[in-house]
């Protein structure tokens, strides 16, 4: 397997704005997943983020915050994932919010705990697409071009193919996989069971599972083993 910046094959993404009972959270945290990523596109506040972090901290598990709102930046996470939405026409989502964050937090920023994600949003019906205005009507080659901007021009540690809510086009994912040399390739979107988890795992370094946790926890838990037993195909 390729060298990874974070040794994560499987990640559960928890949304602070959604309810998850204690037993369900325990099952998620003891599932064997490699990390919990806390994040969401809407309704994320300082209060609900602190509350979720405190609950996840009962378990020995890496917990990262994917920052989507400057008002909800909470200290105490192991890592901070910083999305740059490369296919948004609105530069606020690439540089603007980032500039404001640096102006606001300056010397308080724990730079060594930051991981920048070159986000490519590929589901036009998702909240993140609506929020950022991302041009999600990309061909495989278009997505791969953005991925190469992240990988080769910007040297970003992570390229994140974000299909949030729908299972992605694996031909597009494969085309991107073929072009990314250094960045860790994350896939997220529409994984509802073992078969999809395996397909994404074959092509990507890290597979992110979100929604299904709240819809069908048993299927969500099965994705951990499915991802971990799937080798990445050599391209
Ligand atoms: C969302 O990529 C993650 O940001 C996971 O997507 O919620 O569709 O699993 P789902």
Q: Is 40 in the pocket of ligand 1 (CB under 6 A)?
A: no
Q: Tokens in use for 52?
A: 């979720």
Give the pairing of strands 10-14 and 158-162. Answer: unpaired
pLDDT digits (tens, 9 = 90+) for 5-38: 899 999 999 999 999 999 999 999 999 999 999 9
More confident residue, 234 or 112: 112
Determine the distance from the C-alpha atom of residue 54 to the mean position of all C-alpha atoms in its chain, rounded to a whole number.
20
* pLDDT one-digit tens code per residue, 183-232: 999 999 999 999 999 999 999 999 999 999 999 999 999 999 999 999 99
Instruction: Specify the fold of 10-228.
Output: TIM Barrel (3.20.20)
- Would the annotation count 210 as a binding residue? yes
Residue 14 C-alpha to ligand 1 middle, in angstroms? 9
At 113 the three-state DSSP class reads helix
Round to whole Å and give the CA distance between 189 and 210. Answer: 8
- The reply to whether 46 sits in an annotated binding site is no
Atom of ligand 1 nearest to the CA of 192: 9
pTM of the model: 0.97
Cβ-contact 15, 40 below 8 angstroms: yes
The residue ranges of every structural domain in the chain are: 10-228
47 is in an annotated binding site: no
CA angle 47, 163, 155 (to 5 degrees): 85
164 lines ligand 1 (CB under 6 A): yes
Residue 9 CB burial class (10 angstroms; 0-12, 13-18, ≥19):
buried
């Amino acid at each position: 397997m390729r060298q990874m910046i974070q040794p994560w094959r499987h990640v559960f993404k928890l949304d602070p704005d959604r309810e998850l009972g204690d037993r369900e959270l325990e099952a998620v945290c003891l599932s064997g997943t490699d990390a919990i990523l806390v994040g969401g596109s809407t309704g994320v506040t300082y209060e609900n983020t602190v509350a979720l972090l405190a609950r996840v901290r009962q378990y020995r598990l890496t917990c990262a915050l994917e920052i989507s709102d400057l008002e909800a930046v909470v200290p105490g996470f192991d890592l901070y994932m910083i999305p740059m939405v490369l296919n948004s026409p609105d530069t606020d989502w690439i540089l603007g919010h980032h500039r404001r964050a640096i102006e606001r937090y300056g010397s308080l920023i724990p730079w060594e705990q930051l991981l920048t994600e070159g986000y490519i949003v590929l589901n036009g019906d998702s909240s993140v697409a609506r929020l950022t205005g991302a041009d999600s009507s990309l061909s495989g080659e278009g997505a791969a071009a953005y991925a190469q901007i992240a990988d080769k021009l910007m040297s970003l540690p992570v390229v994140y193919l974000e299909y949030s809510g729908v299972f992605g086009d694996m031909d597009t994912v494969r085309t991107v996989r073929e072009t990314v040399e250094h960045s860790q390739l994350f896939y997220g979107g529409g994984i509802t069971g073992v078969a999809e988890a395996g397909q994404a795992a074959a092509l990507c370094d890290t597979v992110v599972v979100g929604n299904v946790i709240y819809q069908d926890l048993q299927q969500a838990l099965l994705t951990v083993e499915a991802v971990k037993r799937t080798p990445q195909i050599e391209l």
